[in-house]
Structure 1
Amino acid sequence: MSDDLAGKIALVTGGSRGIGRAIALALAAAGAEVAVNYRSRDSEARETCEAIRQLGRQAVAIRADIARPAEVRQLPAQVRRELGPVAILVNNAGIATARTIETITEQEWDETLAVNLTSAFLVTQAALPDMRAAGWGRIISISSVAAQMGGVVGPHYAASKAGIIGLTHYYAAQLAGEGITANAIAPGPVATDMAAALPQLRPESLPVGRFGTAAEIAEVAVLLARNGYITGQTININGGRYLD
């Protein structure tokens, strides 16, 4: 087990399952102590923390709805009390409710933008003071191939994930001189509960003939946490679905 991220504190939003859980475990395997944020899945968050502890790292589960500014403002202080100041932030939390142009409502649009995009802004703003004080930080945000080619979920999801890329570009440009990098990961279909709820997605539609795994996405997140020269980039890991 590598320990090159030893001493670093990571906060992973939506870290109780799926891609978030895989990233939390991979960061722990690389030496980080991990705060697992979740909204409602208490048992899964506790199980993720226990798996992190079995790797010999500290872990804490923190319940907060990151679409709510008042709850987000408390997050870094909670992480600091339990583990230490946030050095690595993974903006992973998201929702994907399939809607067409004809069926989407304004409420669904607003909710998706709040959870998938505004939350990344809120949590990053809250965590930045710790990174700036240390002169070191990593902001890693989960976008989607839908940001680049529309996808199958709907306009609300595609727009929210495209916004992640723009937000990443801004933070990267503004923070590079302070030792803080900002990058996005744009996965294609990944074998998670979210993909299972979208029957429109079929493994045979991908050039590689299969969905990705959460562990494959997590490998990229660890790379970005380790590397201080990669910033402002969108890392496409999509089985050839979108060629850049």
Structure 2
Amino acid sequence: MKVAVNYSVEARNLLTNSLIDIDLFKCPDFSTELIQDAKEMIPSYIHFGLNAENGQMKNVDWGLIRELQSQTETPYINVHAVAMAKHYPEYDVETSQPSHINEMTDAILRDIEILDREIGAEKVIVENVIYRGQGEYMMRAAIDPEVLSRIIEKTGCGFLLDTAHAQMSSKSLGFGVKEYISRLPVDHLKELPITGIKPDNNGRLRDSLPMTDDDWALASWTLEKIIHNSLSATHL
């Protein structure tokens, strides 16, 4: 297992002064200058802003994706499984009708099929996104554990579990985050980002914030669960 943190000037200074010990810097895909700065210190990898839904993969610059991957220590191409409400205006965001869910799932799968052809499914990891409920931009189907498990099973991709996204989604779903994570396809986990969450001045939850005691406790529980599942599978 390797440990990474998001690249920043502050993180760079901490590493320079031996105040943190990490394996990689994590960088966004939109700043070649930032990526280069990070690489001067230690190996770095890219977190891509790709969305699988509604034909988005047809507009991707695959040459750039491959170039960024080859220039860094990026083992997997991450993609967000999404179903934007604006693309399904006739459906309630919380729709549970099988035909609606199948339509959205199929749209995600079609985009991931393009990723498979370009990159290879074994090098792709599917990430859980944020669902906020009524009046928001994401359909509930996109974060449904059964939908995500179906996508992983059908494509052969790995899974990226964002614990902050899971916390925020579970609050909108009305049940505990541990129950939600337990239903996700963690047996296929390849990457585990952890960040803190906190409401802003308007009460809207935000992620990518400093970790609280509750955030650390959830991260610890998640790691223990993953390790337990892995050991159980090894002894089958």
> For this structure pair, what is the TM-score category when the shorter chain's length is used for normalisation?
0.3 to 0.5
Greater gyration radius? 2
**Higher RCO, 1 vs 2 (CA within 8 Å, ≥6 residues apart):** 1
